[in-house]
Structure 1
Amino acid sequence: MKPSIGLLGGTFNPIHRGHIELGLKIREVFHLQEILYILSARPPHKKGMTVAPAELRWRMLQKALEPFPQLVPCDIEMKRPADSWTIDTVSELKSRFPGNSYYFISGSEGFLKIRTWKNYRILLHELSFIVVLRKEGHRTEVEQLLLEENITPCYEFPNPQQPGAEIPAVYLFSYCSEQLGLSSTFIRQKVKSSGFERIEHFVVEDVKKIMEENKLYEK
């Protein structure tokens, strides 16, 4: 059986406890060997947004995942000189590691914007997705999008008939927790309004230290 690898991309601006909890939960439920946390160095969809330097976001990502060997920071997009798109990253990973099966992990908010992604139809037909339903109302919207794109099958996880990552499919995964409700935007706003003293519940200590030392998100 091919190793099953989860792909969780993001700006991680900054990485927080919700990102970690989500990775651990999905790895457990889907029996994945590991999850790659792919840092988007130059996110094409977030131009104009305040984004910390990629090198600092990378350091924070490494520190946050250090205690969890199955959650692996991945710098594949940092090494590219131009904007990185998911299709390019997935193609490179499949080329470099053809023996793996991949699941792309996305929150339902992001997945509903998939039509803005480069070559999104290729992704939908050639890659398995785990869509984390953040809001119950998103289920209908995701199912409608898949219907319009003629994408089947779509599974509510867990499902005993799921085919595995070798056969492209979309899995709807309902999971809610206090940590999962966190957002990097909330943390940045918290720093801007109250400083670094009140964020220890949202980011790990080493991440907080990097933020403080470099005065990230204060302005």
Structure 2
Amino acid sequence: MKIGLYFGTFNPIHIGHLIIANHMAEHSGLDQIWLVVTPHNPHKTKSTLLDDYKRLEMVFQATEHYPKLKPSDIEFKLPQPNYTVNTLAHLQEKYPSHQFSLIMGEDNLKSLHKWKNYEVILEHHNIYVYPRISGEMVPAELEIHRHVHRIDAPVVEISSTFIRDSIKAGKNVRPMLPEAVWQYVDHNNLYKK
């Protein structure tokens, strides 16, 4: 089975995430998309993150009616801070019959050369890239790499930071969240402080 791994803090998961994940599931040749909730990104400060299991619950709620989209807590069990190359090795060992690929925005592809052991990732895994609005150029060696595949997905510029800030300011963000996620956030008074 071909699995696309879509990593994120999903703090919170929003319709932009769902649009990208579903587009990849339907238009890239991948069988399933696993939304991997990252407990702590080495490049982000932990203090801004909502509890890991609350974020995982929101991903469960958001993907419940999408059979090709699966929430994953695989990184919760790995030493922190974790790196993608370690997660890929762990998954390959746990699911030897699956073929794992990465899904990332163009902005992440531009900084891939800064990732731990990025050459190992590139050598053994396909990377499916969705467009982002950005002025920077992708390094030429990544642009033409045989394992890098551009997918003409919709450009969705919604950010979890904007949603959190808007909630804190008392703004209505309901259209930006899957309905079940909005209900969960509202019911639990999340992001209001």
TM-score normalised by L of structure 1: 0.81
Alignment of 1:9-48 (within 5 A): 9-47=7-45
Give the secondary-structure state (helix, strand or coil) at the position aligned to 1:174.
Answer: coil
Q: Which ranges of structure 2 fall in alignment gaps of 5 or more residues?
A: none
Alignment of 1:88-167 (within 5 A): 88-135=86-133, 137=135, 141-144=137-140, 146=142, 152-153=145-146
Q: For 1:146, give the aligned amino acid.
A: L
**Residue equivalent to 1:185:** 161
Q: For 1:152, give the aligned amino acid.
A: H
> Once the 2 structures are TM-superposed, how far is the Cα of residue 69 of structure 1 from its aligned partner?
1.5
Write the deviation string for residues 137-163 of structure 1: whole angstroms up to 9, x where unpaired: 45xx2242527xxx632xxxxxxxxxx
Q: Could you say if the C-alpha distance between residues 40 and 136 of structure 1 is closer, same or farther in structure 2, counting changes exceeding 3 Å?
A: closer
Pick the structure with greater CA Rg.
1
> Once the 2 structures are TM-superposed, how far is the Cα of residue 51 of structure 1 from its aligned partner?
1.0
TM-score normalised by L of structure 2: 0.91
Alignment check: 8 A CA contact 1:107 1:132 kept: yes
Give the secondary-structure state (helix, strand or coil) at the position aligned to 2:76.
Answer: coil
Provide the C-alpha distance between the structure 1 equivalents of 2:7 and 2:69, rounded to a whole number of angstroms. 12
> Once the 2 structures are TM-superposed, how far is the Cα of residue 173 of structure 1 from its aligned partner?
2.2
Q: Could you say if the C-alpha distance between residues 182 and 175 of structure 1 is closer, same or farther in structure 2, counting changes exceeding 3 Å?
A: same
Alignment check: 8 A CA contact 1:112 1:145 kept: no
Alignment check: 8 A CA contact 1:131 1:170 kept: yes
**Residue equivalent to 1:205:** 179
Provide the C-alpha distance between the structure 2 equivalents of 1:12 and 1:110, rounded to a whole number of angstroms. 16
Alignment check: 8 A CA contact 1:134 1:176 kept: no
Q: For 1:106, give the aligned amino acid.
A: M
Alignment check: 8 A CA contact 1:10 1:40 kept: yes
Alignment check: 8 A CA contact 1:134 1:175 kept: no
Provide the C-alpha distance between the structure 1 equivalents of 2:47 and 2:161, rounded to a whole number of angstroms. 10
Q: For 1:66, give the aligned amino acid.
A: E
- RMSD between aligned residues: 1.9
> Once the 2 structures are TM-superposed, how far is the Cα of residue 31 of structure 1 from its aligned partner?
2.3
Alignment check: 8 A CA contact 2:28 2:151 kept: no
Percent pairwise identity: 32
Alignment of 1:63-82 (within 5 A): 63-82=61-80
Provide the C-alpha distance between the structure 2 equivalents of 1:145 and 1:199, rounded to a whole number of angstroms. 40
Q: For 2:145, give the aligned amino acid.
A: T
Q: Figure out how many residues of one structure are paired with residues of the other and give that number.
A: 193
Provide the C-alpha distance between the structure 1 equivalents of 2:100 and 2:187, rounded to a whole number of angstroms. 36
Superposition misfits of 4+ residues, deviation over 4 angstroms: none
Q: For 1:144, give the aligned amino acid.
A: A
Q: For 1:175, give the aligned amino acid.
A: A
Alignment check: 8 A CA contact 2:33 2:70 kept: yes
Give the secondary-structure state (helix, strand or coil) at the position aligned to 1:46.
Answer: coil
Q: For 2:140, give the aligned amino acid.
A: Q
Provide the C-alpha distance between the structure 2 equivalents of 1:90 and 1:152, rounded to a whole number of angstroms. 19
